[in-house]
Amino acid sequence: MTPDDLPPLREVIAAHELRAKKSLGQNFLLDLNLTGRIARAAGSLEDHTIIEVGPGPGGLTRALLAEGAKKVIAIERDDRCLAALAEITAAYPGRLEVIDADALKTDMAALAGGPVRIVANLPYNIATVLLVGWLQTEPWPPWYDSLTLMFQKEVADRIIAEPGSKSYGRLAVLAQWRTKAQKAFDVDRAAFTPPPKVTSSVVHLLPRPAPLAPADPKALEKVVAAAFGQRRKMIRASLKTLGLDTPALIEAAGLRPEERAERLSIEEFCALARAYEAMKTA
Ligand SMILES: C[S@@+](CC[C@H](N)C(=O)[O-])C[C@H]1O[C@@H](n2cnc3c(N)ncnc32)[C@H](O)[C@@H]1O
């Protein structure tokens, strides 16, 4: 078997009866031009092991290998896909390893030696959970060199949102604190089989060598959750849930009590996290 012998993806899906399951977030990409574009958005592949979550019938997997990935480790929990993926393994000897497992229960950091990129058309039902897990990796910088991921456009907008925009919230702070996050391109729903209800977007996240400003990750998570818990209230009200002297906390962070969460920069959230940490341990 060579790559040229691999059957078209539509035939693969029919032959292996891979009817998409909604419960597994299955929306397959069958256009190899599009999967090639996603693979190229990840950056250089030749020196990297690529971890792919949810290869399904293998459209993106094929593109990653065709674009020169040194090795692909693909984690898929739907056993029905394994035979189709075995054909790709045969076409690219020694370069594709398929792991039959739930990505949420897999220690991905332990999978690869050497430089790693993560590339995936994620199952939408667990996309945010996976992203947050990767962003909360300790220690920082993380064990992977980049994340290139397909999300629903609305989630992508929340990842790249700037202060003052309606999508700005916990996800933007967490993502942009530790990575440079940018949208690569939108993908029309018609590109998927079956089509999802909404447009999708590919987002590329490049870990910063050090976070944008110093803060304890847990303290940052706490102040961000409190502030956005009541996003339209002034922080002198929303931060009360932290159980500290709120005016003193805001003053120590150098902020105005009348500010609202959606207008605070990531650096300002970090200042709040540092003040929170200092007051809590005082
Ligand atoms: C949106 S589809 C993408 C399929 C394929 N990569 C493509 O682009 O055509 C998501 C894939 O993730 C798989 N999946 C869903 N939940 C998973 C989990 N917890 N662990 C691993 N794979 C999962 C699904 O079975 C499906 O193949």
Model confidence at 27: pLDDT above 90: yes
Which residue pairs from 156-162 have beta carbons closer than 8 angstroms and sit at least 24 positions apart in sequence? 156/183, 156/200, 156/201, 156/202, 156/203, 157/201, 159/131, 159/203, 159/205, 160/203
Write out pLDDT tens, residues 129-171.
999 999 999 999 999 999 999 999 999 999 999 999 999 999 9
Q: Is the CB of 86 under 6 A from ligand 1?
A: no
**For 108-114, what is the mean pLDDT?**
91
Q: Is the CB of 121 under 6 A from ligand 1?
A: yes
Pocket test for ligand 1, best of 19, 38, 121, 150 (most atoms within 8 A of CB): 121
Residues 153 and 67 grouped into a single domain: yes
**For 104-115, what is the mean pLDDT?**
94
Q: Is the CB of 59 under 6 A from ligand 1?
A: yes
Residues 90 and 172 grouped into a single domain: yes
Write the residue with the smallest CA distance to atom 14 of ligand 1. Answer: 54
Task: Give distance in angstroms: CA of 181 to centre of ligand 1.
Answer: 23
The question of ipTM being above 0.85 is answered as yes
Q: What is the DSSP letter of 162?
A: P
Q: Is the CB of 55 under 6 A from ligand 1?
A: yes
Check: pTM over 0.80? Answer yes or no.
Answer: yes
Q: How many domains does the chain have?
A: 2
Write out pLDDT tens, residues 84-98.
999 999 999 999 999
- Residue 137: closest CA among 80, 211, 63, 73: 211
Determine the pLDDT at residue 231.
86
Confidence bin at 112 (pLDDT 50/70/90):
confident
Binding residues for S-adenosyl-L-methionine: 27, 29, 54, 76, 102, 121
Residues 18 and 104 grouped into a single domain: yes
Residues 106 and 203 grouped into a single domain: yes
Residues 85 and 130 grouped into a single domain: yes
- The residue segments making up the domain with residue 233 are 217-281
Q: Is the CB of 39 under 6 A from ligand 1?
A: no
